[in-house]
Chains A and B, each alone.
Chain A
């Protein structure tokens, strides 16, 4: 029995003015960034003012959107067609939906995340200049801001919050970082928050706050023990750097937590749509299932699943079994070499398609209500806007 999932109506999501944020997530190598860019272009060409926030895009994809450097600034993408251009007016058949408010033309901006810069900006926004300087020059901060395994995830979400608050765009499409675990971007803010709120911080800050021996009394034997162990393992200098960093950061704490909470709420808001991206491979589909469950747990709105790189056949009515039998027959008779070879090829393709279909069905049996859109496998990677436009069309068809 074939299990059919509902179709994911991409255009309905893009055209809905209430959709303000689309988050593309999924495991590494499934085409998240390309999907985000294609959605962005399509939305812009349907009249919306869009910014696509990407994290570490492939070189050629970045070039396709005219991005040349990682500079944290949204750049206008050139070559975007207006919605009332080639394909006829936008106000006719589609009624009031499908065109932007006031009929203004769509625009596409794209930017690459600079995580260190973003982190620095938060510090600068929340600390007085002297504090900010202390933090920014602290060696511990410098390594934290450029290599903490969750910094990229955290900063992507922070940037999303900033873009949203700026109110400059009516649709923000964000591509999530290629994490070690695809869910890191949901966990990182909390992890950083846990650290900033945690007992360790209070212990580290205690001497600076209370000063002198009273601090040790206050914290019973805890600090002495922990500080002793930390000094032993990390060395005294590192501990001193961390302590200085933490006490300088004190002023920024409240801001940090508040922003993390705001961003989290933003992700739960009705104007947000999560699009999970996968390929029809077991690992990617399994990861997609985790996402569905996790998003439900966090009460974050899931729009649907995009399965990239599906193999299909234009001659799908001819089964693998029949095709193989016919090829064997021809080979045995030693006739029609071309047809025999082509039939073998077709059988292989049908087998691959069947396997991919099975992977999708596994997903659908577990999550029967999740809408799905497919993008067929393409020979070449995308390297221009036409390529992105084509993917957008396939996504919406």
Chain B
């Protein structure tokens, strides 16, 4: 086992949330790879039935079964599990009540359907329950089966409610078996062994949702992790150029000369036209860079570690995942 110091040593359950479109599944997958690096065993779980993990790793749809899907750099293993609430319910009934034979009858009667889609909160308890079971599971020698579990969780807007299972089932069950199970799950989710990470972009709405989400978690007494700032585009221009651009004072003549020198433009008129078009691009870029700086500063107010991940040139393919995993390790998040 490596003795590297990371920001989340001791954390065994990494919950990854984020506003839609921020690349939450990609970051969860890359984090799992990063945590597995150097010979560890990590489970990546999916809870919303979207088969996002299968898509990102270019695999056929995952069954309700823990199976190895990737080898991490330096020889660790990433396993994946797509949690299906109905299967989780049948497993739960069998495990706690020995009701295995009832499963089919219950399914036929619509009880399973009812429990997993209609009954408020039950679905979430089943899903988080299955996840915390994987976190706590030990082999015969008493060692934990997984060094870490990464959950590709519901989006920021729903995360607190999703994790705050005791609260969620309160309307359904104030006492009784469901309540007891929820309490057990809540114990795992609220422990220092859990961290809830947020994925954001340097844009107004995702940043605001991230801050709101963090505040809600604090209020609910749930452990806040780090912020992964995803799809960051490099700011390639020197500061003086950016400043000039924001004031709309790009030196068009100098730019045109440079274009001619590089053999981009034929005549002067051509050079001037291209220079003007490119200058508009620079102004655009400078405005965006300024806004991003503002959003970066806003995220800093959350007072939790931040990790910037680059926009992948070819989109989030398998090679890109390994690249992100590398960055995550280099930044000390795993």
Contacts and interface: CB of A to CB of B under 8 A. Distances in A.
Interface of A: 27-30, 56, 58-60, 139-140, 142-144, 146-150, 178, 180-181, 191-192, 194-195, 198-201, 203, 222, 225-226, 229-230, 232-238, 279, 281-284, 286, 313-315, 318, 322-323, 326-327, 329-330, 333, 335-346, 348-349, 351-352, 355, 359, 379-381
A329 B280 CA distance: 23
Contact of A330 (B176, B238, B262): B262
Contacts of A341: 236-238, 241
Contacts of A282: 315-316
B52 A226 contact: no
A194 B110 contact: yes
A158 B127 CA distance: 29
Contact of A233 (B177, B204, B234, B287): B177
B32 to A, nearest CB: 18
Nearest to B19: A29
B284 A195 contact: no
A283 B234 CA distance: 23
Interface in B111-144: 111, 113-114, 117-118, 120-121, 123
Given A147-B168, A200-B111, A379-B287, A225 B255 contact: no
B314 interface: yes
B266 interface: no
Contacts of A191: 117-118
A185 to B, nearest CB: 14
B48 interface: yes
Interface string B51-63: 0100100000000
Given A195-B117, A282-B316, A335 B261 contact: yes
Nearest to B277: A315
B172 A238 contact: yes
B178 interface: yes
B205 A381 contact: yes
Interface centre among B172, B313, B314 (most CB of A within 10 A): B172
Contacts of B157: 56, 178
Contact of A181 (B22, B48, B234, B288): B48
A222 B109 contact: yes
B258 A238 contact: no
Interface in B165-223: 168, 171-179, 203-206, 208
B114 A284 contact: no
A238 B315 contact: no
Interface string B290-319: 010000000000000000000101111000
Contact of A339 (B55, B172, B259): B259
B110 A348 contact: no
Contacts of A178: 20, 155, 157
Contacts of A281: 21, 315
A355 B316 CA distance: 12
Contacts of A229: 93, 97, 99, 102, 106, 111
10 contacts: A143-B172, A146-B171, A180-B50, A195-B117, A230-B111, A339-B255, A339-B258, A345-B236, A355-B315, A359-B315
B178 A235 contact: yes
Nearest to A27: B20
